[in-house]
Homo-oligomer: A and B are copies of this chain.
Amino acid sequence: MLNYGIVLFPSKPFQDTANGLRRRYDAHYANIPPHITLKESFSISNEELPEMIHVLRDIARQCPPIDIHVYKVDTFFPQSTTIFYKLKENKQLSWLNEKLYQEPFPTDRAHSVFIPHITIAQKLQQAEHDDIVGQLKMIDVSHQETIDRIQLLYQLDNESWTVYETFLLQGQST
């Protein structure tokens, strides 16, 4: 059994911007580049992998490239001290997320609602969270770009993630 996750990476310049904050505030800074999680960590066996890959290819073929729109900094507090770039709701992201929580993928959700976001701070002490959240919320983070691929990653024992495979989004925009 390995832990897998499915994410989108934003463009290099936007990853650099996010890392400027993550370096200081994100406990997972060294584990994975800045990303939008489509499906949170799930565990499957080597035997189950080929079927997943097959379905992922199919999903990617149907989905057009995604226009993401980052529009503000927000926090998940009091659920957690995670602070993030919030993305505008997006039909394609929601569709992908839906698909990735249907069979043959594990269907259990850690969070009942899908809130597309890029984490910039996590595992903060509450005092630190309260110190910085106001200032971070004031940052103008308006940013739009198009992402044309999704990434399947697996987790190593040191908790970092390695990309297993890229799937190009090849659907026709409507």
Cross-chain contact A156 with B19 (CB below 8 angstroms): yes
Shortest Cβ distance from A164 into B: residue? B166
Total copies of the chain: 2
A165 and B162 contact, Cβ closer than 8 Å, known pairs A2-B12, A156-B19? no
Is residue A33 contacting chain B, with contact meaning CB distance below 8 A?
yes
Q: How far is the CB of A41 from chain B (nearest CB, A)?
A: 14
A15 and B166 contacting across the interface, CB-CB below 8 Å: no
Indicate if the CB atoms of A156 and B2 lie closer than 8 Å.
Answer: no
The residue that A15 contacts in the complex, of B23, B156, B165, with Cβ under 8 A, is B156
Q: B30 near A156 (CB under 8 angstroms)?
A: no
Which residues of A are interface residues toward B (Cβ below 8 A)?
2, 9, 12, 15-16, 19, 23, 30, 33, 149, 151, 154, 156-158, 160, 162-166, 168
